[in-house]
Amino acid sequence: MISETVLGHLANRFGSQQENLATEALCFILRTSPAASHAFTEFVRQIGFDCPEDLLFEPQRGGLEECVPDITCHDVKGELRLIVENKFWADLTRHQPRTYVRQLRQTKVPAALLFVVPEARVPLIWLEIVRQCEADHIPVGDVQRRAAMTTGRLGEGHHIATTSWRSLLDALSQAAPLDGEIDRRNDIAQLRGLCNMMDEEEILPLKENEITDQHMALRIMNFHDLSRAIAGEAVSMHLCSRGDPRTSHLRYSSGAYVEFGNYRAWMGFDVVAWYRKGVSPIWVTFLNEAQMPEIRAQLRELRKTSPQRCYDSQNGRLVMVPILLTPGAEKYKILESAMSQIGELAEMLGVRLPSVTRNSEDPEADHDEHTAPQTIVEVGTEGGTLTLFGDRDAAGKWRFWTNTDETTFNYLLDEEDLCGLGDLVNISKPVTSFCDALSLLDKYRWYGFVPLKIHPDFSAAILREVQKKGTPEEIASWINRIH
């Protein structure tokens, strides 16, 4: 997971003790910012006890029975008033909360124990706290579930509570700009970036229906396949050109590196962008940081659309464009819409859009005007797809070429086997007769594959060819698809 802040990035890259880092950062903010310290006191008073001002914050001091609270807070008289235990996804230890509660009960003034955890974990950690307290004969009464925290009474004026990092940092950030403390607000933003990264990085508690829901698994497979289909068709239609397909699969995404003229980009199923922006699972991300100002200027109109179709990422170092998907539509309609958006994107970037690679042996070819490419027939193979495209010149004469996309082998084969396959995406030279077009297909025994899309103007000729060469089962499959 890529963090949006330096602190989160460094913690993810170099550290395994992110909870300790977050604790030190929080303690630093509270000790150096009077505004944040005051906001923290007001926030803690929601627990239900009279927390004094001017607390002294001490990170990770040894205590009772070798127990080490993350932060202990004492008043000016040296009395313990608050123990703060910071968690991301680590389990409670045998000291938490039992030993901390016994430590609170040694004080002569009201005190509290506060657990700060990711928002999704607040209800679960509270149930575990109550369970452990009950097992140690520590009753938790008068439970209150507020917007910012869940609280309970321990007796003798003491309290216990859970809250989220988000709620706590929201309270601090609202106060930090006061009295010229802009630096502290930036510090809080850095800590928030770390907490957001940890919130996204770990596995949330699973629901039973999520574990057994095969439709969820199928939908994820659909998005992977759709991303390859969109990238493959965009390359076939020469809306962009393909980069190295073997380096296209990232930690939380799958797709392909492409080029829009001189602009290098990545196109595919991007789970992180989908989670953060919620616009689409399929994205185009431009990668050359030096070109970002130029790309932003050319795509500025996409920021005004609804939904927005151009975003900055990683503090402005990347520009991302979602490919909006058509709900309730068949695959070919989704692809048509995606090609329209990618074509618009290419035009805004000033990319010349030839419909197919010109035949260098034909000096007049560069001057021909052709219609937009159309899918004549597309079949699904074990490793990807095989597509026959066509377009027409001003006189109505057709020209055809094939595209083979076998990037599925990126999932099925290891690196050694992939090295022997060569380029996984190939586009043939164009031919001008349908008979020659069928010859291009015959290299792959296309009639034995699964028919995905058939152009209505060519369906009869295609079916005749299948009936000549296919088995009875293959012929039946094509008849069912056409009709």
DSSP assignments along 22-80, one per residue: HHHHHHHHHHH-HHHHHHHHHHHGGGSS-PPSSPEEEES---GGG---SEEEE-TTS-E
Give CA–CA dist 402/181, Å, rounded: 63
Alpha-carbon distance of 276 to 68, in angstroms, equals 36
What stretches of 265-374 show up as alpha helix (H) in DSSP? 271-277, 292-298, 331-348
Cα–Cα distances in angstroms (integers) from residue 366 to residues 237, 360, 384, 420, 428, in the given order? 16, 9, 31, 35, 17
pLDDT at 89: 78
pLDDT of amino acid 80: 92
The helix/strand/coil state of 392 is strand
19 SS3 class: helix
Q: What is the pLDDT of residue 1?
A: 44
* DSSP line for 453-470: EE-TTTHHHHHHHHHHHS
The closest of 362, 358, 363, 371 to 429, measured between CA atoms, is: 358
> Is 112:160 a contact under the CB 8 Å cutoff?
yes
Total Cβ atoms within 10 A of residue 466? 22
Q: Which two tokens stand for residue 148?
A: 């910012």
Inter-helix orientation angle 182-201/6-14, to 10°: 40
Q: How far apart are CA 192 and CA 183, in angstroms?
A: 14
The pLDDT value recorded for residue 355 is: 46
Q: Could you identify the residue written with the tokens 């094509």? A: 478
- The pLDDT score that the predictor gives to residue 212 is 83
Residues 97 and 131 sit within 8 Å (Cβ to Cβ): no
List the chain residues with pLDDT less than 70: 1-16, 61-67, 176-181, 200-207, 243-251, 353-370, 382-384, 405-426
Q: What is the pLDDT of residues 336-386, one digit of tens each?
A: 899 999 999 999 998 876 544 434 334 334 445 567 778 899 888 765 678
Predicted local distance difference test score (pLDDT) of residue 365: 43
The pLDDT tens digits of the residues spanning 222-241 come to: 898 888 889 888 887 888 88
* Structure confidence at residue 4 (pLDDT): 54
**Alpha-carbon distance 168 to 117, whole Å?**
10
* Positive/negative CA dihedral, 374, 265, 229, 280: negative
d(CA 342, CA 163): 44
Is residue 116 within a helix (H) or strand (E), and if so which, with residue range? Answer: strand 112-117
Backbone φ, ψ for residue 115 (5° rounding): -100, 130
pTM of the predicted structure, to 2 decimals: 0.51
**C-alpha pair distances (Å), 430 with each of 231, 232, 276, 360, 365:** 20, 17, 42, 11, 11
Distance, in Å, from the CA atom of 28 to the CA atom of 59, rounded to the nearest integer, reads 9
299 DSSP assignment: T
In sequence order, the 6+-apart residues with CB closer than 8 A to the CB of 148 are 43, 46, 163, 164, 167, 171
Token pair belonging to 318: 């990347």
Are 276 and 1 spatial neighbours (Cβ–Cβ below 8 Å)? no
For residue 297, the model assigns a pLDDT of: 93
The pLDDT assigned to 293 comes to 92
Q: Where are the beta strands (DSSP E) in 121-242?
A: 141-145, 149-155, 158-164, 241-242
State the pLDDT at residue 196. 78
Q: Over the stretch 55-96, which tens digit does the pLDDT of each residue have?
A: 999 887 544 444 678 899 999 998 999 999 998 877 787 778
pLDDT at 74: 92
